[in-house]
Amino acid sequence: METNRFENKNNGLENDRDLQFLLQGGDLLKVRSSSWKKTRYFRLMEDCKTMFRESKRTFKTSKTCECCCSPSFPPSFLVDEISAVRMGRQSDGLKKNTEENVESRCFSIMFKGRRKNLDLIASSEDEARQWVDSLQKILSSLNNLSTQEKTEHWIFSCLRKSDKNKDDKLSLSELKNFMHLINIEVDDDYAEMLFEKCDKSNSGYLAGEEIKHFYDLLTHREEIDVIYGEYAKTSGFMSPQNLVDFLKKEQREDATLADAHNIIQKHEPDENAKEKKLLSKDGFLMYMHHPEALVLNPDHREVYQDMDQPLNHYFISSSHNTYLMEDQLQGPSSTEAYVRALLKGCRCVELDCWDGSEGEPEIYHGYTLTSKILFKDAIKAIKEYAFKTSDYPVILSLENHCSVEQQEVMAHHMSSILGSALITSPLGNGMPKCFPSPEELKGKFLIKGKRLNKLEATFAPDNTEDDEEDVTEEEESDDEDQDQEKKKEKKKLKLAKALSDMVVYCKSVHFHGFEDARQHLSFYEMSSFKENKALELAAESANAYIHHNVEKLSRIYPAGCRTNSSNYSPVPLWSAGCQVVALNFQTTCTDMDVNQGRFLINGKSGYVLKPAYMRDPASEFDPVTLTRGDWLQHKTLHIMVISGQQLPKLSKKKSSIVDPLVRVEVYGVPDDNAEEKTNAIDNNGFNPEWNENMEFNVHVPELALVRFTVEDHDSATSNEFVGQYTLPFNSLRMGYRHVPLLNKNGDVLPSAGLFVYIMVTDAN
């Protein structure tokens, strides 16, 4: 560790050309509308974390930036708030507000959460490319930092902010300010004691090695000392055999000496210790923070399940009203919403299609004030981003309100844009008897929608068409929220043959009961259920629902009364075998957290294989009554919540400090739903310690999920969300584990986390 704790780390890019370009910065044209295009000067600040913007107006020199104390100009945004940087006119704003001749000079900065894109035009194509490449490089550099490096990076940044006079020294008042910045409230006596302990020179300030000593005291973790000390039996270090003992006894891993040697070689920072094949406490902590040692089973981070089962044997990550960025009354529609859902692993997206001007179909929420996007632009965005997170098939769920003429335009756009990736006929020869597998459909698009005839008719000699009218998804579910006049108007719509022929494996049909479906519907004919109806069936006829879903696909969607785009719990529907449980991906909530947790595994492919007893036509499984069967594998989950690390401040107010508590919840069949919470720790979000035990009974582990949530306790109002992490029960690792935390948008909180001890035993 360096003597000068204020030395700029530059993310390991000290002499990098791209970094120097960003530090120097330059003028860019910011685009808000067709008439609002203004020059702004952008540059990266010296902390390599903050992008600042200067307009042409003069700022008061006394105005000080909250982020890095620079009086030059007001803050713009943090680099870690960026989700992507995209070259060209890819954003809705640039497509709408600029001409094609500036395509090569345009680029957009996309942000996490609901913050609007930053649309920019450079003076040349080379300059635009330089901005994009440079920003992408520094983003990649930040993302690739280890947990320890992220912690140091964050602490260095807070130290810089606290050093008000920029003399690379910390006075007592600056030290107190620093403690507030890192989310610790301490009394004056403790602050003074800590200061005096580090001020070896008695100079009245900390500098150089004194700041290093202060940092070491601050980041010292007693719980790690205890665990490490128990197994460091070789001159105060862990030998390979000591490490194997720890991995076997505490972590319940089938470890070998070769594994221990690999861990030491990979994680030990001290070259002398590494040469002696020993693991120091620093190396042990670095290993414990590595993804291979976290709470999620590392084998489940990759695709590990059988992907050769029929498509309907998987839970499928699915979105409702995918085009919306916010609410469904007057919120904006955007191609970016499709991009975000697809990058999160969503495999079924919805397109509400209406007649647009100039013969071009549009997508928006009908009979509302939501904005509109072109159907062809949505298809282009879907094509580009469909397989960046997952290679497995994407279902395009069409809610079709268009005239025959514009339906033909829709068919043309999908055919020309998606090309050979679009499934337009069954795989193989002859009429299929079941769905193809996700593996067979890799890189392919399936259309879900209405079809004029049965698929079998295409293989019949006369190939006749059914005389049926087109109906929308809501009508199929008898949605009482729809106005009767609107229903009559919709039912006048006819279906274009070109569009009908594109529907192969996902034909939308009415649901008239499980018995009717069993007798009259083919495997590819799928029904959509409004949440209320689906939840009723899941509660009252769960086993029948499971049998229905052994052969067919079911899509569930939120009730029309959810005008704010809120969500419902997907858990009871998964327990009934429903595959396409569609949620509003644009809405941050517990239900979306749980959905993200369900699809966290299997390489984030968006497909999770259902348990064997939910794929068996003779299954007797019922999640409500829980009769005896293979599904009953009664386990006891023991969790000790030990400590937390670097929990974020929720308010920018200097005096605001988190009072954290941890809530642990189990979601699954009704008998497994449970929660427990710790006590709150006052005024410490940096290194709180709880050391509290919890115990849960889990009867059907294959369907259970575990959610860790950190909240800021407030006795006067409801607790405020700090971070969470949800994962399947069967993906938990036992032993001492760090739990990463995600913010409300599902993005990782750098360096923040929990430290827990987990044990799963067979219940008596």
Please check whether residue 419 is in contact with residue 471, taking contact to mean a CB–CB distance below 8 angstroms. no
Question: Measured at the alpha carbon of residue 752, what is the angle toward residues 290 and 757, in degrees to the nearest 5?
Answer: 65
From the CB of residue 26, how many other CB atoms can be counted at a distance below 10 Å? 14
Catalytic: which of 153, 180, 313, 320? 320
556 is in an annotated binding site: no
Please check whether residue 762 is in contact with residue 640, taking contact to mean a CB–CB distance below 8 angstroms. no
Please give the Cα distance from 71 to 51 (Å, whole number). Answer: 14
**Residue 254: Cβ-neighbour burial (10 angstroms; 0-12, 13-18, 19+):** exposed
From the CB of residue 342, how many other CB atoms can be counted at a distance below 10 Å? 26
List, as one string, the DSSP characters of 635-683. EEEEEEEEEEE-PPPSS-STT----EEEEEEEESSGGG-EEEE-PPPTT
Tokens at 205, concatenated: 């300030």
Please give the Cα distance from 300 to 608 (Å, whole number). Answer: 11
Classify 169 as helix, strand or coil. Answer: coil
714 is in an annotated binding site: yes
Please give the Cα distance from 606 to 614 (Å, whole number). Answer: 18
Please give the Cα distance from 111 to 79 (Å, whole number). Answer: 9
- Phi-psi map region of 683: left, alpha, beta (phi>0 left; psi -120 to 50 alpha): left
Tokens at 274, concatenated: 């590494």
CA within 13 Å, CB half, 604:
16
The alpha carbon dihedral of 379, 384, 389, 390 has a sign of positive
Q: Of 519, 573, 582, nearest to 545 (Cα)?
A: 573
Please give the Cα distance from 22 to 78 (Å, whole number). Answer: 13
189 is in an annotated binding site: no
Q: For 209-215, which contacts have Cβ atoms below 8 Å and span 24 or more sequence positions?
A: 209/3, 211/5, 211/6, 211/159, 211/170, 212/1, 212/2, 212/3, 212/5, 214/170, 214/175, 215/1, 215/5, 215/155
350 is in an annotated binding site: yes
Classify 116 as helix, strand or coil. Answer: coil
Tokens at 603, concatenated: 């390489």
Question: Measured at the alpha carbon of residue 221, what is the angle toward residues 220 and 225, in degrees to the nearest 5?
Answer: 110
380 is in an annotated binding site: no
Please give the Cα distance from 354 to 450 (Å, whole number). Answer: 15
Amino acid letter, residue 239: S
Please give the Cα distance from 398 to 350 (Å, whole number). Answer: 6
713 as an active site residue: the answer is no
153 as an active site residue: the answer is no
List, as one string, the DSSP characters of 582-647. EE-TTS-SHHHHHHHHHTSSGGG-SEEEPPGGGS-TT----TTT--SSTT---EEEEEEEEEEE-P
166 is in an annotated binding site: no
Please check whether residue 82 is in contact with residue 112, taking contact to mean a CB–CB distance below 8 angstroms. yes
Please check whether residue 316 is in contact with residue 348, taking contact to mean a CB–CB distance below 8 angstroms. yes
Please give the Cα distance from 627 to 336 (Å, whole number). Answer: 46
448 is in an annotated binding site: yes
- Please, where are the H alpha helices in 344-400? 375-385
Residues 6+ apart with CB under 8 A from 305: 602, 607, 608, 609
616 is in an annotated binding site: no
The sheet that has 118-121: what strands, in order across it? Answer: 75-78, 50-54, 37-44, 26-31, 118-121, 106-111, 82-87
Please check whether residue 447 is in contact with residue 501, taking contact to mean a CB–CB distance below 8 angstroms. no
281 is in an annotated binding site: no
355 is in an annotated binding site: no
Phi, psi of 609 (to 5 degrees): -65, 130
Radius of gyration of the chain (CA): 29
Residue written as token pair 């009717």: 516
Question: Measured at the alpha carbon of residue 62, what is the angle toward residues 59 and 65, in degrees to the nearest 5?
Answer: 80
Catalytic: which of 289, 313, 365, 413? 365
593 is in an annotated binding site: no
Please check whether residue 128 is in contact with residue 106, taking contact to mean a CB–CB distance below 8 angstroms. yes
List binding-site positions for Ca(2+). 321, 350, 352, 399, 657, 659, 683, 712, 714
Catalytic residues: 320, 365
Annotated binding site: 321, 350, 352, 399, 448, 450, 528, 555, 657, 659, 683, 712, 714
